[in-house]
Amino acid sequence: MNTTLETGLSTSGYLTSQSKTNGSIPKPAEGEVSEALWYACRFWPDHVGDDDRLSGVQDVLADFLERNLVRWLELVPSYGEYRDITHIWRRVEAVEIYRARAEGDPEQYERSLALSLEEKSWSSKQLGDLENALDTIQQAVNIRRRFASHGSLADLACLAKSLSSLGSRYGDVGRHVEALAAAQEGVELYEKLAEVERNVYVVELEKLLHTLSISHNELGQLKQSLEMIQRAVEMGRQLANEKSEMNVSELA
């Protein structure tokens, strides 16, 4: 079920799309949904409804809840079906799985917890739950910050990415001062990372400069906003030139 939903169906995306569906639920094309997929979509809550079965498939369910829950919610109603999965959701939500594991072995599982929190924040944002999206990404940033204090490039990069998301979530709820601070911290981290591995991190730095420019603009700091966007444009131009030169070199 996970694999098939991951590839996408013709019904995929209408819950989070900005386009109108005239109040109707789209139906998949004839033959698009196999009997095996439809069986799995209807009855998986029954198969994992008890603790013995649940304990053996937690990782698979965590993956489903993180990546394919919305696709499942789009498909099942198109056939006039409804399944209550509240009891399962409470027990197998990926964030809670990794949170429980991290209590016993934080070094092993807290990074996975942070990733799950980041993905949950993005999903909450897509579904319009902006306050929950903000709260969740704040938790992720706190975890990323603890690991980044050790100084590894990978953990610093993860923190920078989380800070970028945090700035966006603050902006979504109109907290532009906090959005500016988060974006600024992220920019400073990407600047340090780009000094070590420019080709890897300069693109992310350019993107975050755009976000920083928006935050300055929202606060009426037009001069700073212009400076950031000019810097981002110049960086983008340099990247384009470098890519062009690389292509010419390869052709030669």
Q: What is the pLDDT of residues 184-201, one digit of tens each?
A: 999 999 999 999 888 888
Check pLDDT > 90 for residue 106: no
pLDDT at position 39: 82
Nearest-5° Cα angle at 123, 25 to 22: 20
- Alpha carbon distance 121, 127 (integer Å): 10
- Alpha carbon distance 117, 102 (integer Å): 13
Can you tell me the mean pLDDT for 10-18?
A: 62
pLDDT at position 134: 96
pLDDT at position 89: 54
Can you tell me the mean pLDDT for 9-38?
A: 68
Can you tell me the mean pLDDT for 117-138?
A: 87
> What are the distances in angstroms from CA 168 to CA 59, 102, 218?
29, 27, 12
SS3 content of the chain, % helix, strand, coil (to 5): 80, 0, 20
Query: Which of 65-69, 97-101, 107-111 has maximum average pLDDT?
Result: 107-111
Three-state secondary structure call for residue 26: coil
pLDDT at position 49: 53
169 closest CA partner among 114, 229, 126: 126
Can you tell me the mean pLDDT for 19-24?
A: 54
End-to-end CA distance of the chain: 48
Check pLDDT > 50 for residue 151: yes
Chain centre distance of CA 102: 20
Domain 106-252 falls in which CATH fold?
1.25.40
pLDDT at position 97: 77
Contacts of 86 (CB under 8 A, 6+ apart): none
Q: How confident is the model at residue 19 (pLDDT cuts 50, 70, 90)?
A: very low
Can you tell me the mean pLDDT for 102-125?
A: 86
- Alpha carbon distance 165, 170 (integer Å): 9
Residue 169 half-sphere exposure, CB side, CA atoms within 13 Å?
Answer: 30
Mean pLDDT taken over the chain? 80
Delimiting residues of CATH 1.25.40.10 domain(s) in the chain: 106-252
Check pLDDT > 70 for residue 182: yes
Which sign, positive or negative, has the C-alpha torsion 45, 73, 169, 227?
positive
Where is pLDDT greater, at 228 or 123?
228
Please give the structure tokens belonging to residue 105.
Answer: 């072995």
Please give the structure tokens belonging to residue 83.
Answer: 């399944």
Check pLDDT > 90 for residue 229: yes
Contacts of 30 (CB under 8 A, 6+ apart): none
